[in-house]
Amino acid sequence: MIWPFKPNKRKQIARIEITGAIASETRKRVLKALKTVEDEKYPALLLRIDSPGGTVGDSQEIYHALKQIRSQGVKVIASFGNISASGGVYIGVGADHIVANPGTITGSIGVILRGNNLERLLDKIGVSFKTVKSGPYKDILAFDRESTPEEMQILQDLIDTSYQQFVMTVAEGRNLDAEVVRSFADGRVFTGQQALELGLVDRLGTEEEARCWLAEWAELDPDKAKVVTIEEKKPLLTRLLSGQTNRPKSRIGTSLDWVEFELATAGQALWLYRP
């Protein structure tokens, strides 16, 4: 029997794409892809990020998984696309190096938690809620009333703690002093060119240029090293029925997608840039 040829993954570059808002589904997909990179012993990983950010915990888990895979000798370069902000930055600093386009929108290092107060609207239409709770703060950020000063302080402490984690992670990942990071980690966004000047990225360039740099660094031939995108494949019937046989997954970008994201993450602290 002639066994089929099995490609040598040690001479290939793995590629993982992170697009759209980062939430639990993104985390599950990326962690599974990173496990594949580990199991199949790829020597290098190209991480393509085009994301405005997302939930805190999911971004942190992807970041720690990247650190883990780097500790096993896998070389990782992140390539920032159109936008890589907030949680996208948090994940990106988990790579060894970062490449951004000059016009990439990045930054927005900070934390936001939003609630809605519909009390006046509910009064107008004659709707009220009766709440039974086990403690004074169980309905914190309830949309049918104004938050109390005590509740606002609790939420501010939560945001401040999460922000401190963000700053320290960027400082560690980019080998910067924490005070230097705080000087530009005030929620502002900046271009890839500005990010280079701040020390947030290492080089300006396209994804292809990032790939060539990674290949050379991993001692692979840039002209011959194959790039394998690690992605979860849907069953053929599912792809045919959805009309996506030859079409990539859609990104979170439409109004409906954002509504679904807001509902799914209601009450969670977010590392998210919203233009």
Q: List domains and CATH numbers for the chain.
A: 10-272 (3.90.226.10)
Per-residue buried b or exposed e for 17-32, using 16+ beta carbons within 10 Å of the residue's own CB = bbbbbbbeebbebbee
pLDDT at 246: 45
Q: Reduce the DSSP state of residue 244 to 3 states and report it.
A: coil
Q: How far apart are CA 44 and CA 211, in angstroms?
A: 10
Please tell me which residue in 51, 79, 86, 162 is annotated as part of the active site.
86
Task: Report CA-CA distances (Å) from 254 to 24, 50, 129, 257.
Answer: 19, 15, 32, 5
For residue 239 the two structure tokens come to: 């792809």
pLDDT at 113: 83
pLDDT at 83: 94
For residue 127 the two structure tokens come to: 């709707």
In this predicted structure, the answer to whether residue 5 has a pLDDT above a threshold of 80 is no
* Cβ atoms of residues 255 and 24 within 8 Å: no
Q: Which of 237, 234, 245, 195 is nearest to 49 (CA)?
A: 195
* Cβ atoms of residues 170 and 144 within 8 Å: no
In this predicted structure, the answer to whether residue 31 has a pLDDT above a threshold of 60 is yes
pLDDT at 242: 45
Q: Is 250 an annotated catalytic residue?
A: no
Please tell me which residue in 35, 138, 226, 249 is annotated as part of the active site.
138
Model pLDDT for residues 196-217, shown as the tens digit of each residue: 999 999 999 999 999 999 999 9
Q: Is 6 an annotated catalytic residue?
A: no
pLDDT at 198: 97
Average pLDDT estimate for 180-192: 95
pLDDT at 267: 59
User: pLDDT-based confidence at 8, cuts 50/70/90?
Assistant: confident
Task: Report CA-CA distances (Å) from 200 to 22, 204, 210, 266.
Answer: 20, 11, 16, 30
* Cβ atoms of residues 39 and 7 within 8 Å: no
Average pLDDT estimate for 71-84: 96
Long-range contacts at 151-154 (CB < 8 A, ≥ 24 apart):
none
Model pLDDT for residues 56-73, shown as the tens digit of each residue: 899 999 999 999 999 999
Q: Reduce the DSSP state of residue 141 to 3 states and report it.
A: coil
For the entire predicted model, the pTM comes to: 0.82
CA dihedral 152, 158, 160, 161 (to 10 degrees): 160
In this predicted structure, the answer to whether residue 168 has a pLDDT above a threshold of 90 is yes
Residue labelled with tokens 């992807």: 62
Q: How far apart are CA 26 and CA 166, in angstroms?
A: 19
* Cβ atoms of residues 44 and 75 within 8 Å: yes
Phi, psi of 18, rounded to the nearest 5 degrees: -120, 110
Burial class of residue 45 (count of CB atoms within 10 Å of its CB; 0-12, 13-18, 19+): buried
Model pLDDT for residues 213-268, shown as the tens digit of each residue: 999 999 999 999 999 999 876 555 544 444 444 444 434 444 445 555 655 556 56
Higher pLDDT, 210 or 117: 210
The residue ranges of DSSP E strands in 67-202, in sequence order, are 75-85, 97-100, 105-107, 189-191
pLDDT at 255: 46
